[in-house]
Structure 1
């Protein structure tokens, strides 16, 4: 049995998600009406992580994947269920083809707008948005998000992210922010 998952942060990058959930298969880009994305969820490393929150007259962009139920426990662990995210299994999104579907996603119960993501984490989000053909204005908005440099060069999550980015053709994560922007 499978479920649909709405990714709006670093899990938009297919390889990142497939390392966590090997059964994950891209379905379609989608939008969540009445929601927006920022990076105000406190991560275990004290940096900001992707946060989906209610905001009238807004639309959050993301990607729908189909995942085997057997990978749900691994996804919960990666997302830190009960450590900063709550799993929602009835989250409606509208796919690019116009279909409304019920997905699983993760929402933070509290946020801190002072937080900033590490650059390597934000690079995963930007790479996922590019990989899935999200609109250039959205990609540019992501690229303009303030971020912090991770001083811990040996942080396992940083090393894994850099390896994932390299495997998807981004050998220098900072290049994702200096590439040309749409005018």
Structure 2
């Protein structure tokens, strides 16, 4: 299934001229997704149309790392955030989205309720530099990471694999989420079986 979906994602090696001609009718903004929005199928639920045509490709954000520092009330689990870290990087998906999606994206990221806030970053895609790229960071970060639930785990990993993030990064992401879930299970066992 992921192979069929991968074929629908535009080639990240294409030229800017081709990209602009495809989308010349609407003004757009760059968006770097590093969590559940990496999955175009999941993002479609929010934006109401297939967004695969707006994928530029895999991008790298230097000077940040991932962490689950938000408690998502909607999903009742930990949700991803990016934290400044000079020695790290985050891989994600770079979109060029029509401006008509801007408010819907803000709503999804709970900007009106101070869940996340917009932040402009610089990312790299195929050795090309993109500035003024929108991403979202958690406003009120938790003191320690909170495990994702199985649904969030799956949608984040599906987006990472489907959109072609590096195999090494996908494995790191998998292990990080898995370890958080294992830690959470141990805590729950201890709470349910006090000695």
Aligning the two structures, in what range does the TM-score lie when normalised by the shorter sequence? 0.7 to 0.9
- 1:58 aligned to which of 82, 88, 99: 88
- Distance across 2 between alignment mates of 1:35 and 1:51: 10
Native 8 Å contact 1:23 1:68 kept in 2: no
Q: Whose helix proportion is higher, 1 or 2? A: 2
Question: TM-score with structure 1 length normalisation?
Answer: 0.74
Q: Is the counterpart of residue 115 in structure 1 residue 146 in structure 2?
A: yes
Query: What's 1:143 paired with?
Result: 174
Matched residue count: 148
> Which one of the candidate residues 7, 13, 19 is aligned to 2:39?
13
Once superposed, what is the RMSD of the aligned Cα atoms?
A: 1.8
How far apart are residue 73 of structure 1 and its match?
0.8
Q: Gapped runs of 5+ residues in structure 1?
A: 150-183
Q: 1:94 to 1:64 in 2, by over 3 A?
A: same
C-alpha distance in 1 between matches for 2:61 and 2:156: 17
User: CA separation of 1:40/1:53 partners in 2, compared to 1, >3 Å: closer, same or farther?
Assistant: same
- The answer to whether the aligner puts 1:27 opposite 2:53 as a matched pair is no
Instruction: Report what 1:84 is aligned to.
Output: 115
Structure label with greater radius of gyration = 2
Instruction: State the secondary structure of the residue aligned to 2:128.
Output: coil
TM superposition shift of 1:97: 3.5
Gaps of 5+ in 2: 1-26, 186-195
What TM-score do you get using the length of structure 2 for normalisation? Answer: 0.70
Identify which of 21, 26, 43 aligns with 2:72: 43
Which 10-residue stretch deviates more, 115-124 or 14-23? 14-23
